[in-house]
């Protein structure tokens, strides 16, 4: 047997290539949309990729299962558990097998046993892997998807928080409690291979280690320490990270079937004469580093540096409108690839950032300043201080004069801000606040300053902060 681990750090997404070397066949578990990586790996190992299996209908990235089925005729192994509204709707055109609790399937001599593990989503399943070709008659590990992570467990509130299906958070938490009981009954020696690592919004407190064991998680995973259902429900629903708005889009896309991109999908660099029209028609995103954007950019454009696209484009872009990218020519395909992973399909092309600057079109700027230089204005109330960090960060401590506007929700709250008063924007380090300043500027705000270094620099300077009640209690 061969097992290969793939990790997309932009999405904190893990997927796996499992191959039977005797039969020279392989399958991918929870594939991402960038399927070339799996095809290349299988080719290197002399394997034919014959299948793709999914643990559930994903909400945080576009699945690559349909792309694999379309490109290489991979058979799809997907859940048929859960209510009618959460069934895959694109399967008829492809080889597929609908899976239920207790089912199994074979890839060569490798056996996959299906365990229904609802809670994160109603249709969620896990796959127990047994290497029969090596003579084993017991499983060696379990692909848990978004059910059990290293040090955490899948959140049950996404359908309510992101997809807007009211009343599903608590019922999902109770289902999750029963699924945890199934997990506890598994042998301690089993390896645990989850679909996400640290940084994913599919749970809270995920570990950065790629794998674990059932026994270790039983001992140290906080979510697995509860024997009382009510206590578990209270724990699992508390303090979950904000659910990105695009998660609802992903659920729909992965259910009805993503657009097939096909091999060699490319995007074009366009003449900058079309830039003004693009700004009027849709989303124009400058992926330059924020300091460069601050020094000069095109009015009406939004700055999301390429390294932050996966985390924030899904929050901030209007999916119903086309997207144009301002970038270096050699960065266009990488940026487009990232956006396609989170379901941004209408990528109309790119505009060369260097040509824009050479033509004198990057005329808009914004100010940056340090906490030390801004402290007097903030403390005097002469300006409005905007904190765009997460709710959890805000609760742990914040500047007393600050108003909290989480970056992901900022576009919906612009009418609450005073356009006539100077605005200072900050986050933890200055990176997210730079995105926020670009959003505000594109929306017509003119008196803006980005606090360099953010909250960390403020506290490092020794300036006062306000702690939450829980933090004060801990300190005492």
148 contacts 154 by C-beta, under 8 angstroms = yes
Q: For 288-299, what is each residue's pLDDT tens digit? A: 999 999 999 999
> What H or E segment, with its residue span, contains residue 16?
strand 13-20
Average pLDDT value for the chain: 92
pLDDT of 159 higher than 80: no
Residue 402 CA to residue 274 CA, distance in Å, equals 40
Residue 471: pLDDT band (50, 70, 90) is: very low
**Least confident segment among 30-44, 73-87, 243-257:** 243-257
Angle at which helix 431-442 crosses helix 309-316, to 10 degrees, equals 30
70 contacts 260 by C-beta, under 8 angstroms = yes
Residue 166: pLDDT band (50, 70, 90) is: low
Catalytic residue among 20, 202, 327, 427: 427
Tokens 């487009």 appear where? 336
Partners of residue 450 on adjacent β-strands: 368, 425
The DSSP bridge pattern shows strands 141-145 and 125-131 to be antiparallel
What residue ranges define each of the domains in the chain, with the CATH number in brackets? 2-256 (3.60.15.10), 269-358 (3.40.250.10), 367-475 (3.40.250.10)
pLDDT of 165 higher than 70: no
Residue 313 CA to residue 285 CA, distance in Å, equals 9
Q: For 123-149, what is each residue's pLDDT tens digit? A: 999 999 999 988 889 999 999 999 999
Q: For 327-377, what is each residue's pLDDT tens digit? A: 999 999 999 999 999 999 999 999 999 999 999 999 999 999 999 999 999
Handedness of CA 471, 369, 435, 415 (dihedral sign): positive
20 is catalytic: no
């Amino acid at each position: 047997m061969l097992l290969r681990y793939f990790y997309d750090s932009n999405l904190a997404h893990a997927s796996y290539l499992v191959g039977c070397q005797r039969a020279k066949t392989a399958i991918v578990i929870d594939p991402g949309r960038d399927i070339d990586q799996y095809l290349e790996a299988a080719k290197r190992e002399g394997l034919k990729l014959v299948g793709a299996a999914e643990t559930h209908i994903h909400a945080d990235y576009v699945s690559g299962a349909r792309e694999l089925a379309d490109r290489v005729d991979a058979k799809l192994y997907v859940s048929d558990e859960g209510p009618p509204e959460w069934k895959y709707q694109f399967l008829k055109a492809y080889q597929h097998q609908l899976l239920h609790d207790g089912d199994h399937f074979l890839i060569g001599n490798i056996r996959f046993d299906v365990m229904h593990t609802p809670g994160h989503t109603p249709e969620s399943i896990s796959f127990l892997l047994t290497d029969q070709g090596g003579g084993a008659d017991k499983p060696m590990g379990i692909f848990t998807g978004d059910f059990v992570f290293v040090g955490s467990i899948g959140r049950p509130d996404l359908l309510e928080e992101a997809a807007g299906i009211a009343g599903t958070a608590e019922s999902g938490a109770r289902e999750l409690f029963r699924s945890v009981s199934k997990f506890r009954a598994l042998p301690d020696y089993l390896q645990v291979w989850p679909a996400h690592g640290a940084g994913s919004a599919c749970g809270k407190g995920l570990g950065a280690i790629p794998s674990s064991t059932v026994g270790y998680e039983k001992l140290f995973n906080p979510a697995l320490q509860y024997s009382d259902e009510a206590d578990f429900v209270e724990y699992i629903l508390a303090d979950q990270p904000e659910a990105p708005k695009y998660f609802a889009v992903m659920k729909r896309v992965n259910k009805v079937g993503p657009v097939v991109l096909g091999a060699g999908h490319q995007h074009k660099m366009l003449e900058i004469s079309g830039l003004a029209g693009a700004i009027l028609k849709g989303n124009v995103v400058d992926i330059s580093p924020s300091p460069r954007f601050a020094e000069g950019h095109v009015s009406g454009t939004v700055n999301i540096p390429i390294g932050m696209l996966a985390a924030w484009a899904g929050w901030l872009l209007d999916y119903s409108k086309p997207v144009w990218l301002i970038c270096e020519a050699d960065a266009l395909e990488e940026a487009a690839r990232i956006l396609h992973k989170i379901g941004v399909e209408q990528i109309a092309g790119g505009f060369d950032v260097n040509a824009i600057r050479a033509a004198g079109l990057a005329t808009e700027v914004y100010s940056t300043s340090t906490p030390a230089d801004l402290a007097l204005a903030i403390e005097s109330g002469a300006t409005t201080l905007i904190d765009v960090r997460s709710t959890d960060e805000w609760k742990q401590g914040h500047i007393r004069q600050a108003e909290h506007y989480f970056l992901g929700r900022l576009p919906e709250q612009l009418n609450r801000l005073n356009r006539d008063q100077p605005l200072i924007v900050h986050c933890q380090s200055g990176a997210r606040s730079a995105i926020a300043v670009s959003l505000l500027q594109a929306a017509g705000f003119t008196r803006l300053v980005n606090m360099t270094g953010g909250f960390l620099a403020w506290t490092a300077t020794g300036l006062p902060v306000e702690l939450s009640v829980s933090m004060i209690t801990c300190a005492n």
